[in-house]
Amino acid sequence: MTVQPLPPVPGTRMVELDRRESLRLLMRVSMGRVGFTHQALPVIRPVNHLVNDDGDIVIRTHAGAALLATTSASEVVVYEADQIDEATHTGWSVMVTGTASRVTDPLTLARYRTELTPWINTEMEHVVRIRADFVTGYRLETTAV
């Protein structure tokens, strides 16, 4: 008795994206999540961002932020953003992994403070850049029958 393969089932598949496409998608959204270590535990915070000319992620934060406690040592962090349609199970997700560091150059600080407006109503005087050392992205797309 020969076993026949099952016919393809309509659904969703995950397709890997290259760096360029992944960064292009990140530029289309302004909100994501930064993941880092705080007191030896993983922490994830929602933040708004911009992608600079080098493909690095730039965020603003306040003086008491847990992220600032580690960025002076150039900690490795991850930044993730996505757009997912729950009805169709399609969309994309991009992660940037790299070192986070404070932006201290006065001209660069002034530029980012102008270009990146915080979403929350508190003073966000610090700017953090996440170097895009590793960029991974995936698109969820429907499969053909």
Number of structural domains found in the chain? 1
6 belongs to a structural domain: no
Q: Quick: pLDDT tens for 3-57.
A: 666 554 467 889 999 999 999 999 999 999 999 988 888 999 999 999 999 999 9
Per-residue pLDDT at 9? 47
Distance from C-alpha of 136 to C-alpha of 58, rounded to nearest angstrom: 17
CATH number for the domain harbouring residue 73? 2.30.110.10
Please report which residue ranges of the chain form alpha helices under DSSP H: 19-28, 68-71, 106-115
Expressed as residue numbers, the domain containing 71 is 17-142
Q: Quick: pLDDT tens for 50-87.
A: 999 999 999 988 766 777 766 555 789 999 999 999 88
Per-residue pLDDT at 64? 63
